[in-house]
Structure 1
């Protein structure tokens, strides 16, 4: 059963504009794999920097048949993005790549099982 998109904001007030942008990106993921069961997004300001601007991170968790894919907007060693839009874009780009890899493995598994059955 498909669940509605869940969006959480941490250390920042929710914003209708950010929520709308997240929903647009989340809806596009269905083009790459139509059997997503659940989508959860956490938009966060992890640290309060006194000498720097805000830094944003976004985590996207996708539940797919038999697995859960979790990706983040920040790169290793990074403290996040200075732009909320860039953090959202990068997180959903990573989610799209993870979904494409999962879909490719899933298609390959289906083909190999069908081929094995034909050989029996």
Structure 2
């Protein structure tokens, strides 16, 4: 019942209720996080003008393997990945500001994806 109530609250009210219950996050989020850890999974994000999407990959996957989750052609024709951390987006607010701050990285075939990477894949098929 508490989980249902939490889902209907505004962010500030949710944080206050969780704190009063001695919790840092809703139980459903904790279960999902534990399942990801147990299964050795992590997420990365793609962002465009119309959509931001999370993709699930295995910990230790390389950039081409992560690209292949979107489409096999992305993996076959992989050139490089332009990446930044999602926490940088929280700090700098825009991709342009991230680029201007020198936080946008260009990564090659051997790059091991990090949990929370925001990625733009360059490929040619």
Query: Smaller-chain TM-score range?
Result: under 0.3
Task: Give the TM-score of the pair, scaled to structure 2.
Answer: 0.22
Flag the structure with more relative contact order, 1 or 2, with Cα contacts below 8 A and sequence separation at least 6: 2
Task: Give the TM-score of the pair, scaled to structure 1.
Answer: 0.23
